[in-house]
């Protein structure tokens, strides 16, 4: 035992790390430890106080941020397909807007295309129906004209309501005309002209006796009026196609609520 103690003391003396300049490496100062521990405690207390003072909404938002980022970085297949179709629709509609302004490739035919579009406006059709109703003297004619007037009014209200909900603008920044403001046809989706001509053509095909050439011309007129709205840059292609669908649905609705001859006579007498 006495011999082992001098040996251990000699090793301690020979150990370089036991020198004064290296003591800070082996044994950190107590003041540093105290300051670090106190700073950690203060930061933890401040974090706890901040967490208590934060609102539950902020906590939820902070928890939802990574999930929202993941949704944006990894969109669903339906979202990708929808955005792709929307981009194709906008691109094709801009290319087909050959009469959007005077500087377009078919700018000289803009007035003629606008004249074709007037044949699908609601105001001329309502005025013409009222004039024919006043001059009609048969019960069958008055019944058809009253239901046609009902169909035109329903078309204006339904299309105006859908456009207010969608609020989709056209491919070109074109100011609506006076007749468009009267029929509240100020937005793009769905196309009011397309729905109206589709409803009218189907109505006439079902309730009027027409020869085959006239039936073909009626269908061609509806198609030309609908796609003329794309040519002048007022609507997208999908706006016109959806307008055709809504026009057919409006015709089916009028057929379901068809007013009889007695009801039409009562309304005419009141009027």
- Strand (E) or helix (H) holding 180: helix 178-182
Token representation of residue 70: 């993941």
Place of tokens 């969608």: 166
Token representation of residue 126: 């309502």
Give me the pLDDT at residue 9, please. 60
Q: Which of 121, 207, 235, 236 is catalytic?
A: 235
Domain segments of the chain as ranges: 110-270
CA atoms of 236 and 257, how far apart (whole Å): 31
CA atoms of 122 and 128, how far apart (whole Å): 10
Closest CA to 197 of 256, 259, 152: 152
Q: For 124-173, write each residue's pLDDT tens digit.
A: 999 999 999 988 888 888 999 999 999 999 999 999 999 999 988 888 87
Give me the pLDDT at residue 48, please. 47
User: Would residue 193 show up in a list of annotated catalytic residues for this protein?
Assistant: yes
* Number of Cα atoms under 13 Å in the Cβ half of residue 150: 22
Q: For 83-118, write each residue's pLDDT tens digit.
A: 888 888 888 888 888 887 777 778 788 888 888 888
Place of tokens 């370089």: 16
Within 10 A of 241 (CB to CB), how many other CB atoms are there?
Answer: 17
User: Would residue 236 show up in a list of annotated catalytic residues for this protein?
Assistant: no
Task: Please provide the DSSP assignment of 7-69 as one string.
Answer: HHHHHHHH-GGGSGGGHHHHS--HHHHHHHHHHHHHHHHHHHHHHHHS-HHHHHHHHHHHHHH
- The backbone region for 233, taken as left when phi is positive above 0, alpha when psi lies in -120 to 50, beta otherwise, is left
Token representation of residue 78: 């339906």
* φ, ψ (nearest 5 deg) of residue 216: -65, -45
Q: Which of 121, 193, 207, 236 is catalytic?
A: 193
Token representation of residue 35: 């300051």
Give me the pLDDT at residue 55, please. 54
- The backbone region for 11, taken as left when phi is positive above 0, alpha when psi lies in -120 to 50, beta otherwise, is alpha
Q: What is the mean pLDDT of the segment spanning 203-230?
A: 93
Cα 32 to chain center, whole Å? 62
Q: For 31-90, write each residue's pLDDT tens digit.
A: 444 545 555 555 545 454 444 444 554 555 545 444 444 445 556 777 788 788 888 888
């Amino acid at each position: 035992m006495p011999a082992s103690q001098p040996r251990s003391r000699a090793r301690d003396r020979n150990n370089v790390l036991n020198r004064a300049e290296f003591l800070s490496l082996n044994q950190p100062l107590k003041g540093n430890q105290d300051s670090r521990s106190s700073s950690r405690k203060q930061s933890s207390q401040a974090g706890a106080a901040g967490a208590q003072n934060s609102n539950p909404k902020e906590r939820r938002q902070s928890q939802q941020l990574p999930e929202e980022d993941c949704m944006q970085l990894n969109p669903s297949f339906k979202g990708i397909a929808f955005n792709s179709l929307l981009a194709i629709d906008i691109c094709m509609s801009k290319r087909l807007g050959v009469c959007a302004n005077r500087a377009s490739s078919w700018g000289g035919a803009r007035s003629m295309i606008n004249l074709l579009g007037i044949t699908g406006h609601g105001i001329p059709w309502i005025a013409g129906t009222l004039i024919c109703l006043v001059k009609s003297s048969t019960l069958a004619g008055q019944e058809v004209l009253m239901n046609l007037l009902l169909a035109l009014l329903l078309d204006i209200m339904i299309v105006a309501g859908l456009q207010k909900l969608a609020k989709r603008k056209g491919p070109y920044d074109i100011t609506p005309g006076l007749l468009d403001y009267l029929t509240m046809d100020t937005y793009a989706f769905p196309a009011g002209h397309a729905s109206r001509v589709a409803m009218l053509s189907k109505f006439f095909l079902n309730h009027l006796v027409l020869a085959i050439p006239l039936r073909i011309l009626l269908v061609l007129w509806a198609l030309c009026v609908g796609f003329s709205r794309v040519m002048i840059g007022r609507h997208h292609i999908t706006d016109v196609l959806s307008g055709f669908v809504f026009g057919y649905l409006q015709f089916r609705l009028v057929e379901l609520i068809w007013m009889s001859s007695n009801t039409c006579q009562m309304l005419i007498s009141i009027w």
